Structure formats: structure tokens, C-alpha cells
Structure 1
Amino acid sequence: MRPIPLLLLLSALALPALSQAAVRVEVLQNRLAHPWSLAFLPDDQGMLITLRGGELKRWQPGKGLSAPISGVPQVWANGQGGLLDVALAPDFAQSRRVWLSYAESDASGKAGTAVGYGRLSEDATQLSNFTVVFRQQPKLSVGNHFGGRLVFDGKGYLFIGLGENNQRPTAQDLSKLQGKVVRLTETGGVPSDNPFVGRTDARPEIWAYGIRNPQGMAMNPWSDALWLNEHGPRGGDEINIPQAGKNYGWPLATHGINYSGLPIPEAKGKTVPGTEPPLYVWPISPGVSGMAFYSAPTFPQWQHKLFIGALKETSLIVLSVDGNQVHEEGRLLEARGKRIRDVRVGPDGYLYVLTDESNGELLRLSPEN
């Protein structure tokens, strides 16, 4: 069982050099209606930005924000649902394929996460031939816990983080796609070596389970492992490393309690035999969101740092990482008081941040020398 690092709640004491360091913040764009994610286009063509209400737009330096890109699927934009993540296919230079995750509903009026791809036109104004390759079944959400993060690994496999739709027991039910990480091929098929392939009592797409509401996912560039963060209930936000066939505990194991102050009914403790303990846990939830490892050569002082947005704490979490271990924690951007939804490392080595507000912002960050 991995040890759980002790969380220092006073971030300025946890990692003082980084927490107190001056950071240059540039506002590149405002008036973004609840932006959720961004993806960089190659060759200085700017970036794609998803807006939770259902629009996909391109932002370019000197040109600003485009009109909505056509061909985006209809989304169920209620509660936490809407247009979620965007990712470029590994072979984007040849295929022009853009992947999207989003909430969709069915005749029951309930919703779940769907994932598909379309071809982006050369002028980036249209997605054509959008094809849905994954649908979370059954549809259970009335507005909560969609997850939706998309990550390709170095072999071209697509990982999708899925929330349990606020239906706790589903995270332990292998016949359902709630509360799971799923793994697909780059065309949406099921890899033959997925851990539950061939089992009649389990969905073959599933890679790992026992997840509550994943909000950030990224590949660790130093260990080649997939890292995931997820919201706990009242307390117990976590970082996990989803491995094939492993159970990450929710709702049997948790460091949190219900928002009412009562225990989680299914919980048996903070650690439970047969489940994986978190790599890192926050006893008081910061509301973790998008995450990015910094391995670019541009700013050496940011090397081996993991940046995570904080929605509730309205800051940017900074973790010092060594391989698959977290050692220290700090905070940036606390004074701005903005809910941070996503953070990415740009091709230029700068950090790009989206704030989740009705007047959301696109920020560019660099350390002050």
C-alpha cells in the first residue's frame, strides 16, 4: 500500500519559494462564457477552446476569438453538463481529427458523457463528419459528475475519465460506465488487452474503476504513467494513478463525508482492502480541476512541477513531483480570486489557464525573473 503524503494546509509553508514567487500574468482574452478546456493547434495556429454552453472556438494571437466552429454536436448544457474537453488526435497533422467530450441526454431526460471526433477544416471554421464512438450507459445524471477529460498516451490509446453521475454505487458496478476510466483505440475501438475484455459481467471499455468525479488527467512525462485527480465529497479530493483493472475505492473508501456532515453510507473507512489508496489526498477539498506537468525547457524553475486548477479555492495548485511521488505543495494566483478550470503548457513553454466564470479569461503565465 502506498503511503499517503501529509498535506500541509498552509501553502506558503509547504513550498515557500514557489508559492511566494512573482508570476507574470497576461490576460489574453476575456468574455469567455464558462470555458472548460483548450488544445493547441500546430504551427502557431492558435488554440481551440470549449465553452460549456456548447461552442467550440479558435483563439489566435493578434486575432482574438473566432466565431463558433460549425459541426459541433448538440450538447446537454445543464448543471455541470455541456461541452467539456477537446483533444487533438496524435496524427492530427494528417487526419485533422479533433476529439470532443460532452454531456448528452436521451428520451428519459437524464444525461451521460459522450465522446466523438470530427475533421477540422484547414481554415478551422468547421468540424465535418462528426462521429460518436463512446456513450456512457446507462444515462443517469440529472446534472452532476460527468468527468469528461480526454488523454492520449504515447501508444495512441485514448483514456476517458468518467464521473459516477452522483450515483455512488455505480462506481463499483462493472456493468455500468459510471465512475470509471475507460481506454479506447485512437479510432474508438476496444483494445484487446483491456483488463475486462472477455468477462460477461463487465464492460470491456473499462480500464479502472471506483472513481467519483474526475476533473483532471495528464500523462506524467517522467514515468509515462497516467495521473488523474478527482473531486471528493466534503473533503477527500484525490490524485490517483489509474492502472489496469484496479479499484480506486469510491464510495467504499474515502477521506470525505457527505455535504450534510453525515458519513458516506457505503464508506468503510479511508482505506479498504482490495482498493488502491490515493497517491495524494486533500483533507479539505480545493475543488481540483485541469492539470498539467511542466517538462518544457523554457522555465527551469518550473521543472518537475505539476500545476492543478482549484475551483473552490480559486487558485493554481503547484506540486513538486519526483517520478510518481509528490513531495511539496504551494499556491499561485490566490489574489485573483478566480475559479481555475484548466491549465496547459503551451508549445512556447508558457502556462495557459482558463478561469470558469460567466466572464471567463484566458491567461498566460510566466515566472518573473
Structure 2
Amino acid sequence: MLAGVCLASGAAPKAEVVASGLDHPWGVAFLAEGRFLVSERPGRLRIIESGGKVGPPIAGVPTVAAWGQGGLLDVVADSGFARNRTVYFCFSEPEAGSGANSTALASARLSVDQSRLEDLKILFSQKPKVVSRAHFGCRIVEAKDGTLFLTLGDRFSRKDDAQRLDNHLGKIVRIEKDGTVPKDNPFVGKPGALPEIWSYGHRNGQGATLAPDGRFWMTEHGPQGGDEINIPLAGHNYGWPVITYGENYGGGKIGDGITEKEGMEQPLHYWVPSIAPSGMAFLTSDRYGAAWKGNLFVGSLKFGYLDRIELKDGKVVAENKLLAEGKARIRDVRQGPDGLLYVLTDESNGQLIRLLPD
């Protein structure tokens, strides 16, 4: 943790279980009439009714490489969902016969009766595919201009590729909703660079959101220590694995063991030891009072709490542990249409939890 940042136990909200019995849920999207769309890592999408009833698996989900950290991962509803019933989801896409896989992003329409996916389209597939069970990234954010950001991991065994622009490993990509490349992406037309790339030098981003001012924020897992919050800017290099505040598993420096280098961005914030951040949301509502409005919320997989992060002048000034008593791996956190916060716990009996103001 950065020097001068206070880590304290915040005033605990009331945790209300909306639904349970979910199999390692990964992402939650909000539908009409108080319904939720939840992804389960083994490869299922389910509807949760407003009363908490968990529906059967939705038909039409493509085959996923559901091993290790892979499977069916993030899911979001299009900003025009009420009109077009479109959802986006990302998953570990297998390559037949090779054992290799990569992160893919798809769109589909939810049928009128919400029982199946229709008009499924693969909008993006990470290149190259790699034989790996780790570091898929896979958070989706719709920007205010309608483009889609997607976080992509370095696949663990290919960390050095995060510094190369001829692949999608360890990158943030930005695409249009039809899968085409926005003309203002930073590497469009540059020889040797893939045009989908927005930023590079990332390790494994599993939290992402839009700030109230419309900027894209993300968290990424460090190795042993060095988890980060970043605000990825177009064309910028975020350093992995050349600079890091972490070390190899079991100890020992990574590369030259440096934490800064010219031309590489410093994180807004980092954690040592790692908290394994996953899920990320800004609170923009007044439901919890003025002290919480504008705070950033990040789930911790390692320690099993929700981190309420206070910001001032663009810097982290305090962190507060919420829901720590349950020790459940918090995979996702979102602000709902009702202004309340919702979290998913990544367990074999996973839960969707709503935080009620104290």
C-alpha cells in the first residue's frame, strides 16, 4: 500500500442476499423490471428475477474453455438494451484440436422471453491463441461514445509480449459495437501495430469502469505484490513486465527489478501485498450519503472484502474494508439503476448481494 494512505474499517452497510446457489459467478448486468443477467464461469448465463429466483441456463452460449481462470467471464447490457435487447459478453475461446485459447468478445440479442441468445456475433478474438489456463483479463466497458473497451491479460507465460504491439497480449483494446476498429484508435495505420490496441504493458485487468467524468479506469493484478489502479490513455505504455511494484512468486525480482522508466506510466495506486482486485465501480448516487458519493469500489479476491476507496485531487487518500467478515471472494461490483451497490461472490455457492444503506 502506498505510504500515507489510511486503511480503515468503514461503516458497514447491511448486506442483503438477492440470490444464491450460483456457480462461480463472474459478471452481473442489469435488465428491466429489477432483473439481473449473471454469467457463471463454467459457461452459463442465467436470469435472476427481482424476487431472487435463479432461472435455468440461457440457450445459445458458445463453447468456452472452462478450465483454470477461463470460462464465461464478464457480461454487460448495451446502453440501449431496452430498445435492442443487446448484451455483450467475453469468454475464453478454445481453438479446436490445439488446446490453445484466447479471450473473445461477443454480442447477442436476448430473446423476448429471455430464454436464449439470438444473432450471436464474435466481435473480437485475442491474437495469438496460447496454451494457458491463466490471465484472460476480460472486463468490458461501454464508453460514452458507444465504443467498447476490453481488458486482455498477458496469458501468464507470455508476459514479454505485453510490450509488443503485434499481438493482443497484455493490452486494452477498443472496438466499435460491430467489431470494427475506431478510426481514432492510437495505432491505426502504424506499421507493425494491431489497430484494436488502445494501451499496452498491462498484466491481467479484471476490474474496469467509467469514472463520472467519462474516463476509463481499470485495476490489474500484479505478480506477488504490485496490483494497480490505472487510467489507461490512448497509446500509452503501462510498463508490465519492465516496471512493477511486485516480485516473482516465491520472491526475487522481475527483470531488472525497477519500478519506473522513462516512457512508461506510473499507476495511480498500487497494493503491496496484493489484494487480487476484481470488479470496479464508482458510486455516483446519493443512496449512502455524501461521504460515499464519488468513492471507488473494488473487490478483493485474496482477502475477501470490498474496498471503499476515497479519492481527493485524483489520488487515493483512504481505503475502507467492507463485507470483510464473510471472507468471500468478491468478483464483481456494480452500481445498479436503483443507485445501490451490488457484488458477486466467486464461490461454488456464489451469491448476488445488495448493499443497503446503514
Number of residue-to-residue matches in the alignment? 355
CA contact (8 A) 2:36 2:50 kept: no
Residue 199 to residue 133, structure 1, CA distance change in 2 (3 Å): same
CA distance in 2, matches of 1:7, 1:213: 26
Alignment partner, residue 303 of structure 1: 293
Alignment partner, residue 99 of structure 1: 88
* Amino acid corresponding to residue 211 of structure 1 in structure 2: H
The answer to whether the aligner puts 1:341 opposite 2:338 as a matched pair is no
Please report how far the alpha carbon of residue 163 of structure 1 lies from its aligned counterpart in structure 2 after TM superposition. 0.3
* Amino acid corresponding to residue 351 of structure 1 in structure 2: L
Please report how far the alpha carbon of residue 297 of structure 1 lies from its aligned counterpart in structure 2 after TM superposition. 2.4
Q: 1:123 aligns with which of 113, 124, 128?
A: 113
Q: What is the correspondence of 1:189-268 to structure 2 with a 5 Å cutoff?
A: 189-221=180-212, 223-264=213-254, 266-268=255-257
CA distance in 1, matches of 2:2, 2:258: 17
| Aligned partner of residue 262 in structure 1, secondary structure | coil
The answer to whether the aligner puts 1:187 opposite 2:203 as a matched pair is no
CA distance in 2, matches of 1:55, 1:346: 22
CA distance in 1, matches of 2:228, 2:287: 29
CA distance in 2, matches of 1:7, 1:81: 37
Q: What is the correspondence of 1:1-369 to structure 2 with a 5 Å cutoff?
A: 5-6=2-3, 8=5, 11-12=7-8, 19-42=9-32, 44-62=33-51, 64-106=53-95, 107-166=97-156, 167-221=158-212, 223-264=213-254, 266-300=255-289, 301-322=291-312, 324-368=314-358
Residue 247 to residue 141, structure 1, CA distance change in 2 (3 Å): farther
CA distance in 2, matches of 1:90, 1:351: 19
- TM-score, structure 2 normalization: 0.96
| Aligned partner of residue 94 in structure 1, secondary structure | helix
* Amino acid corresponding to residue 103 of structure 2 in structure 1: T
Segment drifting more, 102-111 vs 207-216: 102-111
Please report how far the alpha carbon of residue 194 of structure 1 lies from its aligned counterpart in structure 2 after TM superposition. 0.5
CA contact (8 A) 1:30 1:360 kept: yes
CA distance in 2, matches of 1:156, 1:172: 28
Alignment partner, residue 15 of structure 1: none
Please report how far the alpha carbon of residue 108 of structure 1 lies from its aligned counterpart in structure 2 after TM superposition. 2.0
* Amino acid corresponding to residue 297 of structure 1 in structure 2: D
Gaps of 5+ in 1: 13-18
| Aligned partner of residue 139 in structure 2, secondary structure | strand
Please report how far the alpha carbon of residue 130 of structure 1 lies from its aligned counterpart in structure 2 after TM superposition. 0.6
CA contact (8 A) 1:251 1:267 kept: no
CA contact (8 A) 2:18 2:51 kept: no
CA distance in 1, matches of 2:52, 2:182: 41
CA distance in 2, matches of 1:363, 1:96: 25
CA contact (8 A) 1:7 1:281 kept: no
CA distance in 2, matches of 1:293, 1:142: 32
- Indicate the RMSD between aligned Cα atoms, in angstroms: 1.4
Please report how far the alpha carbon of residue 218 of structure 1 lies from its aligned counterpart in structure 2 after TM superposition. 0.3
* Amino acid corresponding to residue 122 of structure 2 in structure 1: V
Segment drifting more, 189-198 vs 324-333: 324-333
CA distance in 2, matches of 1:192, 1:45: 37
CA contact (8 A) 1:89 1:186 kept: no
Please report how far the alpha carbon of residue 195 of structure 1 lies from its aligned counterpart in structure 2 after TM superposition. 0.5
